[in-house]
Structure 1
């Protein structure tokens, strides 16, 4: 098998194992069994579970960022803020609670997530927030950093809330839309209302 094809196959399979079972419960042995390859072959491509985990995190980040970039081109700035937050929820939604709790024990992977996903996300959202203020969709005195902090904290709450997935998604979407409605102008609230009524953007996990 072409080494590049094998690497991609390992990353996709390992991502599914990590996300479904958590990091601790996923061993290199279980990954090799899922792939029907030997552990030796697996270790020839990735020297350790930590290295493989970082590759998996990078893979999911790149996939999510591409989706955000492509979709945001078709949306106005306020719609894009909502979509960006929903897509972050969707990325988190494919991760198990165990995965999210355990990744803090892998500082390299956590730093990778912050550097390649959270920081660009923060920058993109800040730019959209400023644009919405310039277009008089968000009140000029509204503070973006407070908004971003709210979005992050709400995401963490929704991720670990003791609800089934549909209710967690609904809780998160309602919180995001309610917060934005509070900082929007009357014109911005019209945009939010039309967006919610259309049902086009949903925080699918």
Structure 2
């Protein structure tokens, strides 16, 4: 699959491709990948099954398109933020807010099922690693802005955070708490721990506005 051609906005089939990706993404996130059929996706997208297979040869290729589209959306979101503010903490917090809103609709089964598609999962992880690298660089810039402590090894802390997140994915804590509750608890506790007094004050102001939403 050529992602450049797939997401070419000038291509005649672009609107249909994006509609299918949006429909499939919502279904995969809400119900997992395994339970969703190509027939159901075609029906929800209001196209024929034949048309769907002309766009994507199988469910794995469609899943890959969904992952790539999500990663591109994140990249565009970060670019927009960078054009609007120079505050590192504000950028990081808005990225987390964006992710939390996405996670409201993601069922644990999605993370379990994606392991069934090793090539897609590899690209999914590559995107997470790239995001983590960007976050570490943001944190280092935040030190210069007086928002984060200078005695923190952000690569180690960010690695530990990702591993803790993976532990939760493999646990039964989802029987008691929502995905969003877990994500928020990890992120905001993490940010408080690495912030200076100035950073904590800005974080608390952000949380007040965030909880109003």
Residue 144 of structure 1 aligns with which residue? 154
SS in 1 for 2:150: coil
Q: Is the Cα contact below 8 Å between 2:108 and 2:169 reproduced in 1?
A: no
Given candidates 106, 112, 119, the residue that maps to 2:123 is 112
Matches within 5 A, 1:150-189: 150-153=160-163, 155-156=165-166, 157=168, 161-163=174-176, 165=178, 168-189=179-200
Residue 70 of structure 1 aligns with which residue? 80
Residue 41 of structure 2 aligns with which residue? 31
> 1:158, 1:103 → 2: CA distance?
13
The TM-score normalised by the length of structure 1 is: 0.81
Residue 48 of structure 1 aligns with which residue? 58
Gaps of 5+ in 1: none
- RMSD of aligned C-alpha atoms? 2.7
The TM-score normalised by the length of structure 2 is: 0.78
Residue 141 of structure 2 aligns with which residue? 131
Greater RCO, CA 8 A, separation 6+? 1
Q: CA deviation at 1:141?
A: 1.3
Q: CA deviation at 1:143?
A: 1.2
Gaps of 5+ in 2: 1-11
SS in 2 for 1:37: coil
1:15 equivalent to 2:28? Answer no
Q: CA deviation at 1:144?
A: 0.5
